[in-house]
Amino acid sequence: MKNKKVRLLIFGGSGQIGSRAKILLAQKYKVITPSHQQVDITNQATVVRAISFLKPAIIIHTAAMTDVDGCELNPYHAFLTNVKGTEAVARACNLVGATLFFLSTDYVFDGTKGSPYVEEDTPNPLSAYGRSKYEAEEYLKSHAYSVWIIRSSWLFGQNGRNFFRAI
């Protein structure tokens, strides 16, 4: 009998988290990482078509506009990518019954707490980036059937813009 792996789709598969997740998860899952050119997450029809065709059981959504300064300069693009793109992915997940893992950020908080934040703390984003990710979170909490929201801080990795390269 052939060993059939569960399909896992990663949006943002060439980024720091997506590329590493692909390597780590390839042993257990059939990992699919479409490029931005193959599936533009800001195009609802393209996302639905791709997910309906691929029928993944799990989707890891790491695709985003993460350049904080760039988001301030172009808040519309941040909103389009981070909010509308996430909405499109969530709707398509719901159509096929896929579980969605969404990568958010600690930028949903204002940084004034003085101690580590926990899930129950009230977000208060101060930047366009933080607002766009928080708005995406809020959409997911009320519209996605099966979703995990993961908030991260600075990323450490071998590729892309990361903590070590920034410092």
Which residues are part of the catalytic machinery?
Answer: 129
Q: What is the CA radius of gyration of the chain?
A: 16
CA–CA dist 47, 92 (Å, integer): 7
CB atoms within 10 A of CB 132: 28
DSSP state of 106: G
Rounded Cα gap, residues 31 and 19, in angstroms:
11
Q: How many helices (H) and strands (E) does the chain have?
A: 7, 5
Q: Rounded to whole angstroms, what are the CA distances from 67 to 70, 101, 127, 129, 143?
A: 5, 21, 11, 8, 26
Q: Where are the alpha helices (DSSP H) in 29-153?
A: 44-54, 68-73, 75-78, 85-96, 128-143
Instruction: Dig out the tokens for 33 from the structure.
Output: 């990482």
